[in-house]
Structure 1
Amino acid sequence: MEYRKIKDEDNDGGGSSSGDLESLRGKPISVTNVASKSSELANWKRKSVVTLALTVLTSSQAILIVWSKRAGKYEYSVTTANFLVETLKCALSLAALARIWNHEGVTDDNRLSTTLDEVIVYPIPAVLYLVKNLLQYYIFAYVDAPGYQILKNLNIISTGVLYRIILKKKLSEIQWAAFILLCCGCTTAQLNSK
């Protein structure tokens, strides 16, 4: 929408309608164009920060879990730790939503609403996620943090295979080659170097 508005303004100003930089030479820079560029820069910065945070958090999770073991055991309840993590995530999400509501108000885009059909299917991924998070703690009894991160990439392969079988979607030859290379990489990383 913003792009179309800028392009229409450029076309109304006369001259070439190609929209390239040469056709804009000598024309005044519109405030809308500057605002659009600053908005794009802000979005890029926000995406960069989120990507960096996600990378740091996901890579440090395995290290922190292994670091919290004492003599091969956890000195805390794994179930309670999982519950507290999910409670913290829920609290942060609600705080972010409250902040959005304070700045923008409640709109159709940010209103909390759901239907019974949606709520019925929520327990399926929730239980799978719970089991995955609990198993993660027990996996670290047998695998070190770097090995876990490498083995975790095997979920990409299983996702691709299930994507093909369940959803009946075709994968390209390049995607299959990538799956095979990833599988070989995960396997060779686990070989004993001695």
Structure 2
Amino acid sequence: MSSIYSFLAGKMNTIILICGILLLGLLVGNYILVLGHYNQIKSIMNWKNTKSMINKNTHEVEDKADSEKVTPDSIRELETAFNKTCSWHEAFSQLIPLFPLFGILGTVAGLIMQLSTEDLSTIFSSLHLALGSTFYGLVFAIILKFLDAVGPARTINETEIILEDYDKKVNNAIMLGNISE
């Protein structure tokens, strides 16, 4: 049993570092995908119904309606792809609270190792390892949570607002009977 404690106390810092870097890479990759969906949805909502023209006489830019329209089916396809990416983001963000738990596990394993020794230098060495795992766990949790809140979570919220506005427009048009053929 003491070999398990020794392994956890000695290797927990390395495990936290590897898992932290891996999760950071996954969050950044997922953020790039979320940002791509956001840009695609935002651009289709803003530009698909208009075409910019320049007036030869006044040199003013005029927006004219384009023949290609945004349809609920085209938006649903984009929304489905966006939701799949968001589900991965949710899974990755749920892993962030594990880092303090890994740190506490390393701390407890290091403290248990101290109970079996009477040598003062060994006690301080295992205490250093124990507290180091808590430190790394907290640092990675803070960094990952901050990056998650600033990047993907904010972009996901903005995209959901755009999609909700579109749904409101469609529902309002149906309710008012504004249906063209």
In the superposition, the TM-score normalised over structure 2's length comes to 0.31
Relative contact order, higher structure (CA 8 A, sep 6+): 2
Larger radius of gyration: 2
In the superposition, the TM-score normalised over structure 1's length comes to 0.29
